[in-house]
DNA sequence: GAAATATAATTCAGAAATTTACTATCCCGG
DNA sequence: CCGGGATAGTAAATTTCTGAATTATATTTC
């Protein structure tokens, strides 16, 4: 989960400083363009900030971001199981890491593993009742505390952002 | 750098699947709203994808994303030194991690450390000539290979994205 | 239907990141 | 000018993550 912005007292001082630096570097390096670098930095800082905030909330429940995401994905399946590799894909984590995360979740009785009867290479992951409960309790808190920065955008801006980010993500194929 | 999307053969299959899952979860959990969760996931996947691509390019040079970013920040200072804590702030990494990164960079003769004459707690980090060269060589490659997804956006979309992301980042203060 | 190839999950070694604690220095109020 | 508190950098211990095998099962191909 190499994704944290360190919680310094003043973690987001002036992005303008960083922007100036980017301008200067790109002016000096031929073949470089300021905007993609800037966008990359913005995305990085925002994603990092959101992750930090999520972790702050989840710490009270002894969960980390990935474990929580795994639980959410399972809630979304509505009782149907998921395989570890599904989780790896959905979360963007390595499969080895997903195995470890699942070990933790099983140890906390939030998840249970069962062999898949049709394909015996596979393991089916079922959400335990406590896991569902935990998501019910924590997701609204995440929404309120961690995701509050989105409230500073207007509805139009959020829709626009959603559309542009979807298009951008599509470009990774 | 807990920030990688694992390079599976098909790392960005259909985000639509994930979107459907989010819809279902939020329908089931009172006090949750689909859009912020969706935006968070989009940001996460895009930032992770960009990081993976950067690391792919940088691997040839035995660098990782953070080390590279540190070098870029130093180039942006135009010969003036930076302190480790400046780098920590700019990169969003912990100070302890920056110390380690600098150890590596010094070992590779891309960076040199000198005590600050005015404040003896501080260390001044100077870019070595090889470090400058390395940025000159790698930044254009990063631009072409790693940041190419931005080319799928129109100029208007990029500007809009920049503006919205800046506003969003401002909301973290 | 046997051999070759591919896929799923895991294990394990080592790399990378965080947390806590420590040292040295600076700064401010008295 | 000195004592308490802040700040900078690092070190050590721990946790987390990855990457390369490993094992077991499916699937394809001939």
Spell out the residues 6+ positions from residue B44 whose beta carbon is closer than 8 angstroms to its own.
Answer: A47, A50, A51, A92
Q: Which of residues 14-43 of A touch B (CB under 8 A)?
A: 15, 17-18, 20-22, 24-25, 28-33, 35-40, 42-43
Strands A111-115 and A123-127: antiparallel
Question: What pLDDT does A14 receive?
Answer: 76
B173 has pLDDT over 90:
no
Tell me the CB-side half-sphere exposure of residue B141, using CA atoms within 13 A.
15
Residues in B touching A24 (Cβ below 8 Å): 75-76, 78
Please report the pLDDT score of residue A11 as a whole number: 43
The C-alpha atoms of residue B77 and residue A156 are separated, in whole angstroms, by 38
DSSP string, A36-88: HHHHHHHHHHHHHHHHHHHHHHHHTTT--HHHHHHHHHHHTTTT--B-HHHHH
Question: Three-class SS of residue B93?
Answer: coil
Whole-number Å distance between alpha carbons of B86 and B96: 13
pLDDT of residue B162: 98
In the block, which residue shows the tokens 């970013």?
A: B69
**Percent of chain B whose predicted confidence (pLDDT) is above 70:** 92
CATH, range A63-168? 1.10.10.10
Residues 54-93 of A with CB under 8 A from B: 72-73, 75-78, 88-90, 92-93
With bands split at pLDDT 50, 70 and 90, how would you rate the model's confidence at A9?
Answer: very low
Over the stretch B136-164, which tens digit does the pLDDT of each residue have?
A: 999 999 999 999 999 999 999 999 999 99
The pLDDT value recorded for residue B152 is 97
pLDDT of residue B17: 85
- Is the confidence at residue A7, as pLDDT, over 50? no
| CA–CA separation, B90 and B99 (whole Å) | 14
Mean of the pLDDT values across residues A50-77? Answer: 93
The nucleotide whose C1' lies nearest the CA of A48 is: C17
pLDDT of A129-164, one tens digit each? 999 999 999 999 999 999 999 999 999 999 999 999
Q: What angle do CA A36, A37, A38 make, to 5 degrees?
A: 90
The pLDDT, as a whole number, for residue B12 is 47
A127 vs A86: CA distance, rounded Å? 14
Domain extent listing, chain B: 15-167
Chain B residues close to A25, C-beta within 8 Å: 72, 75-76, 135, 139
Residue in chain A lying closest to B1 (CA): A2
The residue among A1, A95, A13 whose CA lies nearest residue A54 is: A1
- Confirm if A153 and B168 have CB atoms less than 8 A apart: yes
**Shortest Cα distance, chain B CAs vs residue A8, angstroms:** 8
* Chain A residues whose beta carbon lies within 8 Å of the beta carbon of residue B93: 6
CA distances from A14 to A19, A121, A164, B1, B162 (A): 9, 51, 25, 22, 15
Q: What percent of chain A has pLDDT over 90?
A: 86
Query: From the alpha carbon of A65, which nucleotide's C1' atom is closest?
Result: D16
CATH architecture of the domain formed by B15-167: Orthogonal Bundle (1.10)
When pLDDT is cut at 50, 70 and 90, the band that residue B4 belongs to is low
Query: Tell me: the pLDDT tens digits for B49-91?
Result: 999 999 989 998 989 999 999 999 999 998 999 999 999 999 9
Q: Pick from A28, A94, A136: which is nearest to B75 by CB?
A: A28
């Amino acid at each position: 989960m190499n994704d944290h912005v360190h919680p310094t007292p003043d973690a987001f001082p002036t992005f303008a400083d960083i922007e100036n630096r980017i301008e200067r570097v790109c002016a000096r390096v031929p073949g470089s363009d300021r905007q993609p670098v800037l966008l990359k930095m913005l995305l990085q800082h925002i994603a990092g900030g959101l992750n930090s905030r999520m972790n702050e909330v989840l710490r009270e429940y002894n969960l980390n971001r990935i474990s929580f995401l795994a639980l959410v994905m399972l809630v979304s399946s509505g009782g149907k199981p998921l395989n570890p590799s599904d989780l790896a894909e959905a979360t963007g984590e390595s499969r080895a890491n997903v195995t470890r995360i699942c070990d933790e979740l099983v140890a906390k009785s939030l998840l249970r593993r069962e062999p898949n009867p049709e394909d015996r290479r596979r393991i089916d992951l079922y959400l335990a009742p406590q896991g569902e409960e935990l998501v019910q309790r924590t997701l609204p808190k995440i929404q309120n505390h961690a995701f509050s920065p989105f409230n500073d955008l207007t509805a139009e801006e959020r829709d626009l952002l959603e559309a542009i980010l979807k298009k951008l993500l599509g470009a990774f194929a």
